[in-house]
A and B are shown apart, each in its own frame.
Chain A
Amino acid sequence: MTTLIENPPRPVGRTRRILGRNPLGLLFSAPYLIFVIAVFAYPLIYSVWISFHDFFFTAPGFEADRPFVGLTNYLTAFQDPAVIRSFGNVGIFLLINVPLTVVLSLLLASGLNRIVHFRTFLRVAYYVPYVTASVAVVAIWLFLFNGDGLVNAVLGPLAPDPSWLINSAWAMPTIAFFVTWKQLGFYILLYLAALQGIPKELYESASTDGAGPIRSFFSVTVPGVRPATVLVLLVSTVTGANLFTEPYLLTGGGGPDGASASPVLIMYQKGLQQGQPDVAAAIGVVLVVLVLVVALLQNRFAGGRD
């Protein structure tokens, strides 16, 4: 009898001890957790696995033998000068894009944060390129930066020859400027959020101490938004390493002659067009490891204690 009385609440107690006070939370989160495992966790591990095996596409349901090949795919990938060059290209891209993004978005955000009139109009203007599809804005830039396009018409004799997108020295920087312009609105948004968090008193005491606007920008604003700066560095680096649409469309597949090819473009060409998913996966793994290293270095030098 005693067991009968004691038993009923027990299972509840045990589930609660294992799953927490509201086990329902796990049920509510189950679809999301399954999604993250299926679309992120498993493919991530699978990608690393593919890069160490001889992997090729097969018809659905067909079981093929996929032997372990060690570093062969990595060697195949990095003996190809086009792959090396694409990493160099993304390096050039990041060297232009990331500093430009940080400086411009912080300056514009601190200007927008103070302005009283036309606030909404100005913010919307800076956000519009960010919310618009890359494919649509690429179409406009193609027209603007074409050999006889408007930009060259304005520049006249100063225009580069061959024109921007077909000039091997200018193709990558043009893409870097394009992406900076396209994404800047998002980083302005992040900085605007961070600027709200700086107490007004700090500016007041800086000004009583005799600091002008430039001095207080460097000694109050810049340290005050440091966590946002770390985030902007990280997100712009990851976005830059993901570069695909722009070289694919703006420079017609990484042209001229591979001068603007990005690693993701090469992965697409090797993996899906030439049927070497294993080599493409190896490039992806190296790219992500490099991004991680860059991100850690940025965090080290810009992060402070946050």
Chain B
Amino acid sequence: MSRFQKILRGVVLFIGAVAFLFPFYYMIIGSLQTAPDPTIAGAFPNPSNITGENYTAINDRINLFQGLLNSGIFTGGVLLGTLVFGVLVGYALAVLQWRGRGVTFALALLVQVVPFQLLMVPLYVLIARDYGLSDNYLGMILPFAINSTAVIIFRQYFLQLPKELFEAARIDGAGEFAVLRRIALPLVRPALITVVLLTFIGPWNEFLWPFLITKEAGLQPLAVSLANYISNVAATAANPFGATLAGAAVLAGPVVILFIVFQRYFISTDIGSGVKG
């Protein structure tokens, strides 16, 4: 490849990256404008048109703290379920020999392509009507409780550990649970971070399910209350765009920061194998 072609490639990739980041930049700018300025000049910071009022305005309508707390509980529940039960099944799939292992692995792959739309109605009937878990954190968490991609990633990591390690510990008399907790788990710490990142973005960003299952505003995750604000209240607000973008910034902030800090754990090969098996 010639020098010119290399430079051209770099330029194209940079232009693409700007196109991907620009909306986020615009979100920040827009959320700080006193009066919305949709002209081209409005895309540049203007000191005379800066305010923090949009953040207070959106907070008056949807209680950002409560929304963040609800999103946190929803996401925390899913993370807990995935880390505890996902590690157990990932270990069983990689290290232990038992009947049903192949079927379980196949299920973990299959589950990832089951479209949620087919499950929407029956899950709503079961969880909201039969179990009475609407407007309840448990009802929100249940369909996402164990992330199957995480299971596959755990399996992949446990498979890479040398078998002799486990044999030695067993000969020393350690029970299987102790082997998992004291030997296997500390060795797959990078997998834990990858899984936390990957699992986090699911429930934190999820809209459809918590939207179906929560009618009470005090229990809605931020994504749901912001969506309700966009579709119902925005028309009556003084600066709906400023307030909406402020809400969007609060919703996007935690994930984007978490992702940038830990981006080196968002490694292509791990996640690629998680989806492909």
Interface residues of A (CB under 8 A from B): 18-26, 28-29, 31-33, 35-36, 39-40, 42-44, 46-47, 50, 57-58, 60, 108, 111-112, 114-115, 117-118, 120-129, 131-144, 146, 148-150, 153-154, 181, 184-185, 189-190, 192-194, 196, 213, 227-228, 231, 234-235, 238, 241-242, 244-245, 248-249, 252-253, 263-264, 267-268, 271-272, 277, 280-281, 284-285, 287-288, 291
Residues B97 and A213 in contact, CB atoms below 8 Å apart: no
A23 to B269, CA, bound (A): 31
12 contacts between A and B (CB under 8 A): A25-B98, A32-B151, A35-B145, A39-B123, A125-B18, A137-B248, A142-B241, A193-B269, A235-B113, A245-B207, A285-B118, A287-B117
Contact residues in A for B30 (Cβ distance below 8 Å): 140, 143
A177 to B88, CA, bound (A): 40
User: What is the total number of residues of chain B having a CB less than 8 Å from a CB of chain A?
Assistant: 100
For A29, A136, A144, the residue with the greatest tally of chain B CB atoms inside 10 Å of its CB is: A136
A231 to chain B, nearest CB (A): 6
B76 to chain A, nearest CB (A): 17
Interface string of B12-34 (1 = CB under 8 A from A): 11101111110110110010000
Residues A111 and B118 in contact, CB atoms below 8 Å apart: no
Residues A268 and B21 in contact, CB atoms below 8 Å apart: no
Q: Contacts A22-B96, A153-B38, A252-B231; is A135 near B251 (CB within 8 Å)?
A: yes
The closest CB in chain B to the CB of A295 belongs to B113
Interface string of B116-153 (1 = CB under 8 A from A): 11111111111001111000000000110110100100
Partner of A57, one of B27, B111, B125, B260: B125
Contacts A26-B100, A284-B117 known; list 20 others, CB within 8 Å.
A25-B92, A28-B96, A33-B104, A120-B264, A132-B205, A135-B226, A140-B30, A140-B248, A143-B38, A150-B39, A153-B39, A185-B20, A189-B272, A192-B268, A196-B269, A228-B276, A231-B276, A268-B120, A280-B120, A291-B115
- Interface check B89, CB cutoff 8 A: yes
B61 to chain A, nearest CB (A): 14
- Interface check B265, CB cutoff 8 A: no
Contact residues in A for B14 (Cβ distance below 8 Å): 118, 122
The closest CB in chain B to the CB of A24 belongs to B176
Contact residues in B for A263 (Cβ distance below 8 Å): 117
Contact residues in B for A32 (Cβ distance below 8 Å): 85-86, 88-89, 104, 108, 146, 151
**In chain B between 192 and 222, which residues have their CB closer than 8 angstroms to a CB of chain A?**
201, 204-205, 207-208, 212
A267 to B224, CA, bound (A): 19
A154 to B42, CA, bound (A): 12
Residues B20 and A126 in contact, CB atoms below 8 Å apart: yes
A58 to B111, CA, bound (A): 29
The closest CB in chain A to the CB of B145 belongs to A35
The closest CB in chain A to the CB of B104 belongs to A29
Partner of A22, one of B89, B97, B151, B205: B97
Residues A60 and B130 in contact, CB atoms below 8 Å apart: yes
Residues A136 and B248 in contact, CB atoms below 8 Å apart: yes
The closest CB in chain B to the CB of A60 belongs to B132
Q: Contacts A57-B125, A134-B207, A284-B118; is A150 near B26 (CB within 8 Å)?
A: yes
Residues A140 and B245 in contact, CB atoms below 8 Å apart: yes
B225 to chain A, nearest CB (A): 9
Residues B117 and A288 in contact, CB atoms below 8 Å apart: yes
Q: Contacts A43-B123, A47-B118, A60-B129; is A231 near B275 (CB within 8 Å)?
A: yes
